[in-house]
């Protein structure tokens, strides 16, 4: 199978994630879309690792997973705090700072 198909898939996943971030209104769904984008980058890393014939890209994808896990910790903390004080996880409700 042509290896560039993996890159196309990665680009499609990244686009779906990016479009989701822009269009979805629930903070948790937005955050899941960001995770999808990170995973798209991971897929690209692993594909290029295969193309280049070394392991550096695979190592990079492990780093990404760890960082993504840290991001989940911080992100969910912020979203939960937000939900507790407003009873809503919609990012449209968070508009006090707009003038």
Partner 1 sequence: MLIAPQLSYSLLAPILIVLGGALLGVLVEAVMKKGSRAAIQTAIALGTLVLSFAFLWKIHGQSSKTAAVNSVSIDGVGIFLQGTILILSFIAVLFIADTDNFAAQASAVPGSEDERASVLAGKQQTEIFPLTLFAVSGMLLFPIASDLITLFVALEVLSLPLYLMAGLSRRRRLLSQEAALKYFLLGAFSSAFFLFGAAFLYGYSGSMSLDGIASAISANSSNDVFLLIGIAFLSVGLLFKIGAVPFHSWTPDVYQGAPTPITGFMAACTKIAAMGATLRIFYVAFGQAEWQWKPIILVIAILTMVVGGIAAIAQRDVKRMLAFSSIAHAGFLLAAVLALNTDGLKGALFYLATYGFTTLGAFGIITLVRDSSGEVTDLNRWVGLGKKSPLAASIFTLFLLSFAGIPLTSGFIAKFSLFTGAYESGNTVVVVVGVLTSAITAFFYLRVVVMLFFTDPKNDSVSVVIPSFMTRAAIAVCALVTIVLGVAPSLLLDTAQTFATFIR
Closest CB to partner 1 among residues 1, 96: 96
SS3 19: helix
- Concatenated DSSP letters for 47-93? HHHHHHTSSHHHHHHHHHHHHHHHHHHHHHHHHHHHHHHHS--BTTT
**32 binds partner 1, rule: CB under 8 A:** no
Find the farthest-apart pair of alpha carbons in the chain and give their distance in angstroms, rounded.
Answer: 53
Nearest distance from residue 5's CB to partner 1, in Å?
14
**77 binds partner 1, rule: CB under 8 A:** yes
**12 binds partner 1, rule: CB under 8 A:** no
Within 13 Å and on the Cβ side, how many CA atoms surround 19? 6
- Which residues of this protein are in contact with partner 1, per CB under 8 A? 7, 10, 14, 17-18, 21, 27, 30-31, 34, 37-38, 40-42, 44-45, 47-48, 51-52, 54, 56-57, 59-60, 63-64, 67, 70-71, 74-75, 77-79, 81-82, 84-86, 91, 94-99
């Amino acid at each position: 199978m042509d290896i560039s198909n993996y890159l196309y898939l990665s680009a499609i996943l990244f686009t779906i994630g990016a479009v989701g971030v822009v269009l979805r209104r629930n903070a948790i769904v937005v955050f899941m879309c960001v995770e999808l984008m990170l995973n798209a980058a991971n897929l690209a890393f692993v594909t290029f690792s295969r193309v280049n014939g070394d392991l550096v890209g695979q190592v990079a994808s492990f780093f990404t997973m760890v960082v993504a896990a840290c991001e989940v910790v911080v992100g969910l903390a912020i979203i939960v705090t937000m939900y507790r004080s407003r009873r809503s996880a919609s990012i449209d409700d968070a508009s006090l700072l707009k003038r």
